[in-house]
Amino acid sequence: MPHTTAGQTVLLTGAAGNIGRAFRRLAGERYQLRLADTKPIHLGKNEHAATIALDVADLAACREACRGIDTVIHLAADPSPEAGFYESLLENNVKGVYNVYRAAADQGVGRVIFASSVHTCGGYPAGFQPHTDTAPRPPNLYGASKAFGEAIGSVFAAQEGLTSVAIRIGAFEHGPKDPAHPDPSEAAFFVSARDLVQLIERCVTADLTGFHVVHGLSNNRLPAFDISSTRALVGYEPQDDGFAYHG
């Protein structure tokens, strides 16, 4: 049964980050949001939402954050490809993602949208275009932590019936340095704020059960990752092109 936006209570982790702020700005008014982050969350002038401090490495805190929630959009993580495993990834990207899924299942949440990354498949040779069923091949520990998050989503779908969608997010709002002569290695991974927010919303509302992977890239002329199955699965209709992006 498809979710609808009307009356949806959504826990948005990582709400103070770049993607979290974009979602709040472009789609926040359509949901009852509970905003969570370790950093201070500054509400906009016309923004009305509950805010909580949340360390996702704390399972009890995650359970409390998920109480009464319909959908979790899990953005909280260390986003650095250079992040150290013991220094950050273990707590934020490994324990954190497990805790969010465990808490969501325990509290009867219907769906988790997980912010994965194109880094999960960054270890393939240049020119190879991953599809949504391509097995992860991460080139760094950050990508490995996101591949772990995808695997956890699959486990909770298989064992506990929790619907989950992992979005392999590209280069968010990071366009080519020279718009007149865009570098394909930059532009091919681009995803705009409005396209990514649209995709997140489609993942919230699509008629889905089980676990799925989708690709979070814009309608780039030469896309680094295939988005055809993402279009078909959730009705994604990206509007922007990294090769025409001017920042």
As given in the structure block, the two tokens for residue 207 are 């008629």
CA distance 198 to 192: 10
Nearest by Cα to 224 from 121, 142, 148, 135: 121
Q: Residue 74 — φ and ψ, nearest 5°?
A: -100, 100
CA distance 49 to 116: 25
**Cα 178 vs. chain centroid, distance in angstroms?**
27
CA distance 193 to 25: 10
Please confirm, yes or no, whether 142 is among the known catalytic residues. yes
Cα–Cα distances in angstroms (integers) from residue 217 to residues 12, 118, 133, 169, 221, in the given order? 21, 9, 16, 7, 11
Out of 31, 98, 101, 142, which one is annotated catalytic? Answer: 142
CA distance 193 to 56: 24
Nearby residues of 96 by Cβ (< 8 Å), 6 or more positions away = 56, 57, 76, 77
Contact 20, 37 (CB under 8 A): yes
Cα–Cα distances in angstroms (integers) from residue 203 to residues 171, 186, 189, 207, 231, in the given order? 19, 25, 20, 9, 11
Cβ burial of 232 (10 Å; 0-12, 13-18, 19+) is exposed
* Residues involved in catalysis: 142
